[in-house]
Structure 1
Amino acid sequence: MKQKHEVVCFGEVLWDVLPTGALPGGAPMNVAYHLQKLGVNAAMISRVGQDDRGEQLKKVLQQNGLSLEYLQTDEQHETGVVNATFRPNNEVLYDIVFPVAWDFIEWNASLQNLVEESTVFVYGSLAARNEISRKTLFKLREAAHKRVLDINLRPPHFNTELIEDLLRNTDIVKLNDHELDFITQSHHSNSVIEDKIRFLQDKFSIPVIIVTRGSKGAILCNEGQLFNHGGFKVTVCDTVGSGDAFLAAFIYKSLKGARPDEQLQYANAVGAFIASRQGACPEYGQEQIEEWINGIVVPD
């Protein structure tokens, strides 16, 4: 009997080309990776090119317990690449190559069945930048039981109409404070962050909104109730993928039935831990995260 995938992640798989070298990445793949690390059976829907980078990504997925069954191969387009450069204050600038294989994810019945049989469907705004993948995403979104949207505003890969469509049709939204400011600027340019969150929740009828704030932690608005966590202080190696680890940890705790404040604390801890390591998908185990939360220094 085929094992059920509790969470399905849809979208980009790629190589983050950093000054220090190339590392596997892509927000939904990072989320799937961290879910697997946390003991959640996750599936990845994406597409790679028929090239060396695609073959290497397949190996990475397999090595981390992710099935290749839902990873399509594109004979015309290359595997995705993002050229990342670092600026002061740990800010990362991304050059996201377009078009690439993950822009052309094709719908089929097996993907529909996969999503229908899962509990959570995770996807980002970036995966909707091209019509082919966008149509597939929207069809799968209709089949999902709980939809989790990761807003990722990377110019020029989005427009207002697309973002509003995504916001209107989801159950949980994660975005950072800068993205919140951008989306609400015409309505609440001078408001405090809590007012902006409530405005977004009311305007688009979103049950759960999570706003990450970098070193300031994160705010969770669950059905109108606000929770704030100041984050964990760490020596940052790089912030690539820390938000994806945060989201995976939040989903993990929500599946376990944890209280909203517990979900937020755990997500902050995992996000901080990943920020203290190089790349989006470093090696770690659940026990290290528990030690981190308990204030124990995690050995290198």
Structure 2
Amino acid sequence: MMNKHNEVVCFGEILWDVLPGRELPGGAPMNVTYHLSKLGRKATLISRLGNDERGIALRKIFEDKGIDTSYVQTDASHKTSIVLATPNEAGDMKYDIVEDVAWDYIAQQPDHEALISQARYFVFGSLTMRSKTSRDTLLALMELPCRKVLDINLRAPFINKADIIYQLKKAEVVKMNEEELALVAGWYGNYIGIEEKMRLLQDLFQVETLIVTRGAKGAAINYHNECYMHDGFKVQVADTIGSGDSFLAAFLSEFMKNKDVEAALTFACKVGAFVATREGGCPEYDVMF
């Protein structure tokens, strides 16, 4: 498949978020792919689904939405992934991520090299490093020439310090939330302010663009050692599933236009806030921001 039109390639989990009374499509890399597509960017996902009802349903959902699934593999031996998601009173989610599922077995394929090398960004997360097969595939793909975007998703018990440090050293763009920033910065000392923690990681790992989402408090971006802050938009939260993923997609989509950090940050906050008002990580919408 020719991939010259793919601006962004995402790698990692595709799954069903199982909430009380309903199941919704999700997975951070899948959410990013979805929102990039909704925002008019050509994006594709490298992942793996089981050859089961959930896998067939997920593939159909995204094909119906016009999202490229050419690089989503089918696994005859492992089930499509589910995540048990439980909201608290504030709408924030607690996740129980089932192991030994299809996306733990993403295999490297010959067409991945051209796919990624010709893209503008390669987006991957920390969670995919939990299993040997997908980890080995990702490590190989991270060596290809493309601007790399690390989306840190620290979910106990899948937190491996050495793997996260390795990924940080490889990425030009890093996105994490405020709690993840505190955890990673805490490996190196007792740092107090958010800007201090962000500069620490930028200096340690030579990260060009460090993005920290802060929930209802907005977000912060340190770009080439200059910090930009946005207080966010006040909304009625349905749940926070996919809000950070949509933020990342919106930031990349806008930043690709002219590298205006402030404009991209504002746009990303708008999209992330909107997604928080809807259920699940992939709500339907038309671009209206």
Normalising by structure 2, what TM-score? 0.97
Measure how far apart 1:190 and its partner are. Answer: 4.4
Give the CA deviation at 1:144: 3.8
TM-score of the superposition, structure 1-length normalised?
Answer: 0.94
Letter in 1 for 2:6: H
Residues 119-134 of structure 1: pairs in structure 2 closer than 5 A: 119-134=120-135
Amino acid at match of 1:161: A
One-letter code aligned to 1:273: F
1:137 alignment counterpart: 138
> Where does structure 1 lack aligned partners over 5 or more consecutive residues?
290-300
Residues 15-30 of structure 1 mapped to structure 2, 5 A cutoff: 15-30=16-31
Structure-1 residue corresponding to 2:67: 66
Secondary structure of the corresponding residue to residue 62 of structure 2? helix
Give distance in 2, aligned partners of 1:204 and 1:88.
37
For residues 127-276 of structure 1, what are the structure 2 equivalents within 5 Å?
Answer: 127-276=128-277
| C-alpha distance in structure 2 between counterparts of 1:100 and 1:67, whole Å | 22
- Partners in 2 of 1:88 and 1:279 — Cα distance? 16
What is the 5 A alignment of 1:280-299? 280-286=281-287, 288-289=288-289
Q: Deviations over 1:145-186 (max 9, x none)?
A: 110010000011121111101111101000000000011114
How many Å apart are 1:75 and its aligned residue? Answer: 1.0
AA partner of residue 86 (structure 2): T
Q: Given the superposition, is the C-alpha separation of residues 278 and 208 from structure 1 closer, same or farther in structure 2, using an over 3 Å criterion?
A: same
Q: Which residue of 1 aligns with 2:15?
A: 14
2: distance between equivalents of 1:142 and 1:270? 31
Instruction: Structure 2: state its 5+ residue gaps.
Output: none
Count of aligned positions: 288
* Kept in 2: contact 1:188–1:196 (CA 8 A): no
Which residue type is aligned with residue 253 of structure 2?
Y
Aligned to 1:106: 107
Give the conservation status (yes or no) of the 8 Å contact 1:246–1:271.
Answer: yes
Question: Which residue in 2 is equivalent to 1:52?
Answer: 53
Deviations 1:125-145 (A, max 9, x none): 011111111111111111141
Q: Deviations over 1:256-285 (max 9, x none)?
A: 114111111110000000001111111111
Contact in 1 for aligned 2:185/2:191 (Cα 8 Å)? no
What is the deviation of 1:228? 0.3
User: Is contact 1:208-1:222 (8 Å) kept?
Assistant: yes
How far is 1:88 from its partner? 2.6
Measure the CA separation in 2 of the matches of 1:43 and 1:66: 7
In the alignment, the residues of structure 2 paired with residue 227 and residue 144 of structure 1 have an alpha-carbon distance, to the nearest angstrom, of: 28
Q: Percent identity?
A: 47
Quote the Cα distance in structure 1 between the aligned partners of 2:204 and 2:149: 18
Corresponding position of 1:38: 39
Name the aligned partner's letter for residue 192 of structure 2: S
Deviating above 6 A after TM superposition, structure 1's stretches of 4 or more consecutive aligned residues are none
**C-alpha distance in structure 2 between counterparts of 1:266 and 1:163, whole Å:** 28
Task: Note the aligned Cα RMSD (angstroms).
Answer: 1.2
Give me the whole-angstrom Cα distance separating, in 2, the residues matched to 1:115 and 1:187: 33
Task: Give the superposition deviation at 1:220.
Answer: 0.3
Q: 1:21 to 1:109 in 2, by over 3 A?
A: same
What CA distance in whole angstroms lies between the structure 1 residues aligned with 2:145 and 2:41? 17
Given that 2:105 and 2:134 are in contact with CA atoms closer than 8 Å, whether structure 1 keeps it comes out as yes
SS of residue in 1 equivalent to 2:41: coil
Partner SS, residue 246 of structure 2: helix
Deviates more, 1:172-181 or 1:55-64: 55-64
Larger deviation, residues 88-97 vs 196-205: 88-97
